[in-house]
Amino acid sequence: MTIDLLVSEVGPRDGLQSIESIMPLAAKKAWISAEAAAGVSEIEVGSFVPAKILPQLADTAEVVAHARTVPGLTVAVLVPNLRGAQDAVAAGAHKITVPLSVSETHSLKNVRRTHAQMLEEVRAIVELIRSQPEGRRPKFEGGLSTAFGCTLEGPIPADKVVELAGRLMDCGCDEVGLSDTTGYANPSQVKDLVRRVRAEVGEEAFAGLHLHNTRGLGLANVVAGLEVGVTTFDSSLGGLGGCPFAPGASGNIVTEDLVFMLESMGLSTGIDLPRLLEVRRIVAEAVPGEELYGFTPDAGLPLGFAPAGRKADAA
Ligand code: ZN
């Protein structure tokens, strides 16, 4: 079966870092294995940050070690700096993303670094990766966060996003992605910014979209991304994470709803939706009391639902 679109699960990182409960290591392993078995081929499994900042992700090295044993799975991690990248390389992550907040105010607050300092860090990470033996060099993405708006600065000028995308590539990143960290994006903006960033860095170097559903526009923004040819979307199972300021709103877009939408549209994700829905139970049991989101899991699959692959086989 050919896969049209890559759904990259970020729940074990973005979801778990946004809730208070700490998921036990065994449950993280079970979650990752089950989701990979359902056909998810890329999972961001954690973040290499000091345990005192994010105790929820303190076991990332062990999670990576487990995820690496899952056949065919691309094991991605987030790192805030060179120190984190060293840990990620030592653990054997296949892909590393460093977030660069387009809002410098947000960057200072989040990682206590200016853009110039962050770009220095990115250059040092590139050197680290290039010093590894061939075959052990992780793919390196620069993730432009707050690209669509910032809770501290408000609107973010598109020119600034494009400029920083270019500078990340100049520093030696393999690709750049766009993150709607704050759930500010709208579909017109998505199309415009994707086009402009792709024109700057080249088609091949555009990594994809990382969307949040804070204001309910997550899937509309995915459709906008599809219309301009985006092929990779981040999402989290059960929309884990939520938003403390918007009760009822999921965190990231919900993997189950995203896969349902794409498969219904005839776009193959390689993911077995009924099996994916089963994975929710593992997460629900491991972090009881944390809200899980998603319309498809609540409503169930429509009668006669046929995934994209089966439609193609029948045709
Ligand atoms: Zn996020």
For residue 52, the tally of other CB atoms under 10 A from its CB is: 7
DSSP state, residue 14 = I
Dihedral sign of CA atoms 50, 22, 180, 169 in order:
positive
Task: For residues 233 and 221, give the distance between their C-alpha atoms in angstroms, rounded to a whole number.
Answer: 10
pLDDT under 50: residue ranges of the chain: 315
**What pTM does this model have?**
0.96
The answer to whether residue 171 is catalytic is no
DSSP state, residue 56 = G
Rounded to the nearest whole angstrom, what is the distance from the C-alpha of residue 134 to the centroid of ligand 1? 31
Rounded to the nearest whole angstrom, what is the distance from the C-alpha of residue 54 to the centroid of ligand 1? 15
Task: For residues 24 and 63, give the distance between their C-alpha atoms in angstroms, rounded to a whole number.
Answer: 11
What is the per-residue pLDDT for 147? 97
Rounded to the nearest whole angstrom, what is the distance from the C-alpha of residue 65 to the centroid of ligand 1? 23
Rounded to the nearest whole angstrom, what is the distance from the C-alpha of residue 53 to the centroid of ligand 1? 17
Mapping DSSP to helix (H, G, I), strand (E, B) and coil, where does residue 276 land?
helix
Rounded to the nearest whole angstrom, what is the distance from the C-alpha of residue 46 to the centroid of ligand 1? 12
What is the per-residue pLDDT for 313? 54
- Torsion angles phi and psi, residue 256, rounded to 5: -60, -45
- What tokens were used for 21? 């409960």
Rounded to the nearest whole angstrom, what is the distance from the C-alpha of residue 310 to the centroid of ligand 1? 32
What is the per-residue pLDDT for 42? 98
What is the per-residue pLDDT for 225? 98
Q: Near ion ligand 1, which residues have CB within 5 Å? A: 14
Rounded to the nearest whole angstrom, what is the distance from the C-alpha of residue 78 to the centroid of ligand 1? 11
* Residue type at position 310: R
What is the per-residue pLDDT for 292? 95
Rounded to the nearest whole angstrom, what is the distance from the C-alpha of residue 198 to the centroid of ligand 1? 21
What is the per-residue pLDDT for 314? 52
Domains in the chain, ordered, with CATH? Answer: 6-314 (3.20.20.70)
For the stretch 278-291, pLDDT in tens is 999 999 999 999 99
